[in-house]
Structure 1
């Protein structure tokens, strides 16, 4: 059977990305841990992912940029997990199709989100993924996000396979999946419903239930 890898945000978790407030709170917590007292402009910048601006701010504040980034990523994961536990962020109604697919073939979770959160979500939804891969909590890890196929390639290497399907909800998912040599499935969700069909996507799906039909037909 065909190996199927899934994106996480916008495919399993509702919404296309982590709420920016989660990162703002994470940055504030990391600054407090490191005893830093930023100006309002510095605080505004370090709450973002613009690491080329974050690095000099950290040096000006006398803190290690890499340590700040790693702490920020860890606190962002904690914030995301709390929002999931509380129900503030939900999952889509059709995700049980992934569980059904896992009974038939190899499945994996590959996301631009943090690896710590990817592992949490895999456990939270209770799916028996054969591989789980998210971004590393480093500047280099952030640079390797899709559309770079780095994390998809890493997952394929872990599985010992070279072909399959990558299911995502964004153009970067399709670009990364194709760069990794996979078929790609563009999944329609409320946030991308009005987007034009992606010409470079192999398949277009209205529901995760369609993935099961797609794999069974191969």
Structure 2
């Protein structure tokens, strides 16, 4: 059952960054442009930015979109790397399960490509994955992140499979899997205890070992 398994990263393999950290990074990006942002504009770019929301922010302050997004993404990536180096961001305890899969694995994250690459190297996870994708620090990268299936489809093509399972911790992951024509497993980690889905995943699990049961 399933020719491959694809994983989201943050909230699935590695514990997600704290929102306060992302907020501070977004504020620093605005400060680079000499702006004290309104809360509504700060919220538009600090986490899960959408193309429409980002466009509204740039129009409100007259920002060049590519220049501002690069500043925002750099600040967010650097803050996450500091947390990892300091030991405040860690992997989940069941991460060793990755060694037990007998089918190709891939990773598709909406985090920055540079951040994903650092995490895979720092936590020595790269050896498990035949392909991985993060988001480039560009406005086009915002448009192509999940729930857009773009990077999922690239990973599937890299692995040469069509029948795969995508494991994620958000509604956008479930929708991205649906858009890519693959099944989804929503993993309800502790930070998702009260998280409500308006879409139905193929499976709902609490830990990585359950995926092995699904595969068998």
CA distance in 1, matches of 2:210, 2:182: 18
1:54 corresponds, among 57, 69, 76, to 57
Match of 1:126 in 2: 124
Q: Residue 184 of structure 2: SS of its match in structure 1? A: strand
Aligned to 1:108: 106
Q: Match of 2:148? A: 148
Aligned residues: 206
> What's the TM-score, normalizing by structure 1?
0.81
Larger radius of gyration: 1
Q: Could you say what secondary structure the match of 1:112 adopts? A: strand
Give the corresponding residue for 1:181: 181
Distance 1:143 1:25 in 2: 21
Q: TM-score, normalised by structure 2?
A: 0.82
Which runs of no fewer than 5 residues in structure 2 stay unpaired?
Answer: 46-52
Distance 1:168 1:112 in 2: 11
SS across alignment from 1:204: strand
- Report what 1:64 is aligned to: 64
Aligned-pair CA distance for 1:164: 0.7
Q: Which runs of 4+ in 1 moved over 6 A?
A: 196-199
2:28 and 2:75 in contact (8 A); partners too: no
Cα pair distance change 1:86/1:153, threshold 3 Å: same
Query: Are the counterparts in 2 of residues 167 and 185 from structure 1 also a CA contact under 8 Å?
Result: yes
Q: CA RMSD in A?
A: 2.6
Separation in structure 2 between the aligned mates of residue 199 and residue 71 of structure 1, nearest angstrom = 33
Secondary structure of 1:95's aligned partner: helix
| Counterparts of 1:174 and 1:190, CA distance in 2 | 18
CA distance in 1, matches of 2:42, 2:189: 31
Q: Does 1:37 align with 2:34?
A: yes
CA 46–58 in structure 1, closer or farther in 2 if over 3 Å, else same:
farther
> Contact 1:31–1:68 (CA<8 Å) still a contact in 2?
no
Structure 1: 5+ residue runs without aligned partners? none
